[in-house]
Amino acid sequence: MKTKSVLLFILLGVMGLVYGCGKSHSNPMPTNGAPAMAATVNIQNFAFSPAVVHVLPGGTVTWTNKDTAPHTATDLNGAFDSSTLNTGQSFKFTFNNPGTYTYHCLIHSMMANATVIVGN
């Protein structure tokens, strides 16, 4: 009887760990809701996440490379260029001029069409 409840306790604990771990990845994805003064973009799994961010004029976007591969965040029109970001490295850029900035990774051609929208 006592052994049984100990086993049940352990089983519940293990299930809790598994479930808890699964849940920790389900943070709400920051999307382009109301524009803010700052936004962050993770470069992960060969993608910019989120692919679209919206900041107010004067706002700053920070990109962080969470992959093992190097990446860049490079504006198609030359407004900004992170140059090569290795694992764990970040790049910040402050957008003073309203507009839509489309950028890509210079190293991986499939990492294209990510966007920073600057406006109110």
**Binding-site ranges for Cu ion (CB under 5 A):** 71, 105, 107-108, 111
CB nearer to Cu ion: give 26 or 68: 68
Backbone angles phi, psi at 21, to 5 degrees: -65, -45
Q: Which amino acid is at 79?
A: A
Whole-number minimum distance, CB 49 to Cu ion, in Å?
A: 13
Longest pairwise C-alpha distance within the chain: 72
| Helix boundaries (H) for 1-120 | 2-24
Backbone angles phi, psi at 7, to 5 degrees: -60, -40
Whole-number minimum distance, CB 70 to Cu ion, in Å?
A: 7
CB nearer to Cu ion: give 3 or 68: 68
CB nearer to Cu ion: give 17 or 76: 76
Whole-number minimum distance, CB 74 to Cu ion, in Å?
A: 10
